[in-house]
Amino acid sequence: MQATWQRVECVSALFEWKHELNHTFVIQSPESGSNGLLPIGSRKEIVEQLSKLNTAPEREGEDALFGPGVRIDLPPEKDPVEQMLLTIVEEEIAYLVMMRISRICGWKILDPETGRELNP
């Protein structure tokens, strides 16, 4: 029962976050290290993990990954990756995709405009 309520609260928080198209969020590790951000993984690991969630680059080696309603930008030539940008490109489905990525990958998604974060 508690897991159901947590999910309802996450969905409710997401719908409070209604933003304009192309709003950008930051994806980070849910934990920080003594020197700042902890890596969320190598580029290869991230691309493999997101490919299982129907999110991938158009061509191998590109920094932009496209998924349902979202675009995720990896930092150029940075490995391991400490943070990525997630941009909403189709609002109707993006929020559920964001929640799924955060939950399955175990990443924190932060709205830099409000400082709010999604930790399902």
pLDDT: is 13 or 54 the higher one? 54
Beta strands in 7-111 (DSSP E): 24-28, 32-33, 36-37, 56-57, 64-67, 70-73, 83-88, 108-110
Statement: the pTM of the whole predicted model exceeds 0.85? no
Q: Residue 44's pLDDT band (boundaries 50, 70, 90)? A: very high
Helical pair 2-16 and 91-105, crossing angle rounded to 10 deg? 140
Q: Indicate the number of domains in the chain.
A: 1
Rounded mean pLDDT, 105-115: 91
The confidence score (pLDDT) of residue 15 equals 46
Mean pLDDT lowest among 4-13, 31-40, 48-57: 4-13
Q: Which domain holds residue 90?
A: 2-118
Q: pLDDT digit string (tens) for 55-105?
A: 999 999 899 999 999 999 999 989 999 999 999 999 889 989 999 999 999
